[in-house]
Structure 1
Amino acid sequence: MKVYTTDRSNDRSEPERIKVGVADHAVAHAGSTLVTSGLGSCVGIALTDVDAGVAGLAHAMLPAASAEAEAGAHGDGTRTRGNDTNSDVWKYVDTAVPALAREVVDAGADRARIEARVAGGSAMFEFESSAGAVGERNVAATREALEAHSIPLVATDVGGDYGRSLRLDVETAELSIRRAHGETHVI
């Protein structure tokens, strides 16, 4: 795990903006904003503890490693970020959820206060496997993983046939979703 620290003592007016790529994640403290874009069938999973001022955001592509084979597809400014040696962890929902929960706790969150917000899981293409559309399977896998790890899912913006971009305010835990057709929704 890499740790990045930014000295923001001179400028508290604008939150630090941390970009999360596809099959990636970031964990940050209050005073930061986590963003990701290009969510189609992928899911954005936000885990937050407002009292601790800690949140994490993962951008997962597929429900589980076995799903890839089936489809024939392939505060203080401190934050942590994935690296190339374990990037597959962030590619799959079933491994991203527990890994993100661990990193959020390691950053200071209380395990009992962590809440989840989820967005994405669109049906972007007409292609479906016998197991169903990837977006639907990603949403179902996310719900299952959160339940298995006793993390309450407090809000969702899932499904549809449009892309999304996310902006997570670490301090308030508000997840702002900008939909491809221009509408913005906050959960």
Structure 2
Amino acid sequence: MTENDSAAIRATRLRDALFACAAGRNAGLDTILDSEGPQLLGVAHRILGRHDLAEEALQDAMLLIWRKARQFSADSGSARGWIYAILRNRCLNILRDGKRLSLLSPGDLATLQERRQAIVPTEDWEILAAPSRIRDCLKGLDGQSRHIILLAHVAGFSHAEIATRQDVPLGTIKSLIRRGLHALKDCLT
């Protein structure tokens, strides 16, 4: 069995798991957690920088997946991408909320912010995409566009934060993101 065959089997399994959740069968959540649980927790931990918040984000994401599984459409994207998008959005909401972070001392908050600033999702980004069409399309982008898109859509940085981080004008960042996303869309369709 080739790597593409096993990736296709995993993709089908996740899609079927979402359909099971939509039908109210608990086995769908079990399948998602068995297949992607450690990776989901790792992504959440990388975004949030704290294991307890990562676990909370994963639990919240699984609840959202259960509730919104009927909204998933296999025609609009992969099940894996849909699941990770829900987790990412939940993590970003936790970061924006900030109430949970206030439990930390000012020194710990500064350290957490520094860790977030140090996130470079272009290192080993292929792990996040696994063997898939999105991975192939990301490989097709130039390095700067890929890096900026990953900073925005994986690490959760605002366009202004990326502009500051890259020392590039904000308008240039917005243009690069827009062109990169357009190239990804063209590649995926």
Larger helix percent: 2
Larger strand percent: 1
Q: Between Structure 1 and Structure 2, whose CA radius of gyration is higher?
A: 2
TM-score interval for Structure 1 and Structure 2 normalised by the shorter chain:
under 0.3
TM (norm. structure 1) is 0.28
TM (norm. structure 2) is 0.28
